């Protein structure tokens, strides 16, 4: 192939890829378009572009769904879950990596073992146990359960990272007179930032989007965005314009965060996959 032909081929290839990417996202575009239409407009032609940026559906669903409360619920659930996973995971991963005793080795094994066990095999008994400890039907309780479910991967990643850190790091802190805990908070924790960001990204995406665990644990007044949208779809299954608006409302937060932080998120998710 000559150089010019090669370049022409690359341009055609790029056009093909651009069309493919558009087709790939077409269903999502359709959802957004139709969320701006009235019931009749959705029924007559869902493929047409909306005539105007009509926000009636958004106003309606905002209250019908109780969006603000659900958003706050899901936000705090995710925050509480991720905070616990990062704090407990980093503490344990660090200490288990620095302590070379039989007990430490055994506890490390215990911590990472759940990574091999699929959630489905113990979700039923977890529901029962959560009921015994009064963790069921409460967002706080659900957050605590996320700590234990998210901690294994976090401990594993922090453990691996600390292994590659020189001991001198903490020794210098000790000489400066910092306490055992001060060394961790002021010296070790900041050094772990790359892993911390990966752990945060993986767990935010997981907890925000999780459906099965809220479905098992929450039953009644308190709900998350995913759980409530599922119920909302059932309730408004013929009023597509409302259901589609709910889809947009539920997906906008993760997509917005993703678009702002895409480089870190993609890197974090791939790193999490490769290490996990």
Partner 1 sequence: MFTRNRWGSRVEFGVFVLPAVVCILLSAIVPFVMSMYYSMTKWNGVGKHIKFIGLKNFRELLTSDTNALKALIFTLEYTLLAVVLTNVIAILLAVLMTKAFKLRGLYRVSFFVPYIISLIIIGFVWKFMFTKGFDVLYAQTGWSIFQWSWLGNAHLAFWSILFVGIWQSVGFYMMIYITGLQSVPGDLLEAASIDGCVGLNRFFRITLPLLMPSITVALFLSIANSLKVFDIIYTLTFGGPGGATNSITMDIYNEAFVNNRFGYATAKSLVFVVLILVITVIQVRFTKSKEVEA
- Subset of residues 30 to 89 that bind partner 1, contact rule: CB under 8 A: 30-31, 42, 45-47, 84, 87-89
For partner 1, what does the binding mask look like between residues 153 and 192, x meaning CB under 8 A?
A: --x--------------xx--x-----xx--x--------
- Judged by CB under 8 A, the stretch of 57-65, 190-198, 237-245 that binds partner 1 is 237-245
Task: State the nearest-atom distance from the C-beta of 248 to partner 1, in Å.
Answer: 9
Q: How many CB atoms lie within 10 A of CB 49?
A: 9
If binding is defined by CB under 8 A, does position 241 make contact with partner 1? no
**CA–CA dist 38, 43 (Å, integer):** 9
**CA–CA dist 126, 119 (Å, integer):** 10
Out of 121, 134, 177, 190, the residue judged to bind partner 1 by CB under 8 A: 121
Task: State the nearest-atom distance from the C-beta of 55 to partner 1, in Å.
Answer: 20
Task: State the nearest-atom distance from the C-beta of 143 to partner 1, in Å.
Answer: 11
Q: Are 264 and 144 in contact (CB under 8 A)?
A: no
Task: Give ∠ CA 71-77-81 in degrees, rounded to 5.
Answer: 145
The four Cα atoms 80, 81, 83, 87 give a dihedral, to 10 degrees, of 130
Out of 55, 169, 212, 260, the residue judged to bind partner 1 by CB under 8 A: 212
3-class DSSP state for residue 113? Answer: helix
If binding is defined by CB under 8 A, does position 236 make contact with partner 1? no
If binding is defined by CB under 8 A, does position 12 make contact with partner 1? no
Tokens of 171: 């020794």
């Amino acid at each position: 192939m000559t150089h010019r032909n090669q370049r022409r081929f690359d341009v055609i290839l790029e056009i093909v890829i651009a069309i493919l990417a558009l087709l790939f996202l077409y269903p999502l575009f359709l959802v957004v378009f139709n969320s701006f239409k009235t019931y009749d407009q959705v029924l007559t032609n869902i493929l047409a572009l909306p005539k105007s940026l009509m926000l009636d559906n958004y106003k309606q669903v905002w209250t019908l769904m109780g969006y603000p409360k659900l958003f706050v619920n899901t936000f705090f659930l995710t925050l509480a879950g991720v905070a616990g996973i990062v704090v407990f995971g980093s503490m344990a991963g660090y200490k288990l990596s620095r302590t070379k005793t039989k007990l430490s080795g055994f506890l490390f094994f215990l911590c990472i073992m759940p990574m091999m066990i699929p959630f489905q095999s113990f979700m039923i008994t977890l529901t029962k146990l959560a009921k015994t400890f009064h963790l069921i039907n409460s967002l706080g309780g659900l957050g605590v359960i996320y700590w234990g479910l998210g901690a294994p991967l976090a401990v594993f990643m922090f453990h691996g990272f600390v292994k590659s850190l020189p001991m001198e790091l903490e020794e210098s802190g000790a000489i400066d007179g910092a306490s055992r805990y001060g060394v961790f908070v002021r010296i070790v924790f900041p050094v772990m930032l790359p892993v911390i960001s990966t752990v945060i990204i993986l767990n935010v995406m997981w907890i925000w989007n999780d459906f099965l665990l809220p479905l098992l644990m929450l039953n009644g007044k308190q709900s998350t965005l995913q759980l409530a949208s599922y119920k909302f779809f059932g309730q408004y299954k013929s009023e597509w314009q409302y259901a589609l608006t709910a889809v947009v409302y539920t997906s906008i937060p993760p997509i917005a965060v993703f678009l702002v932080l895409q480089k870190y998120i993609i890197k974090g998710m791939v790193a999490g996959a490769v290490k996990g």
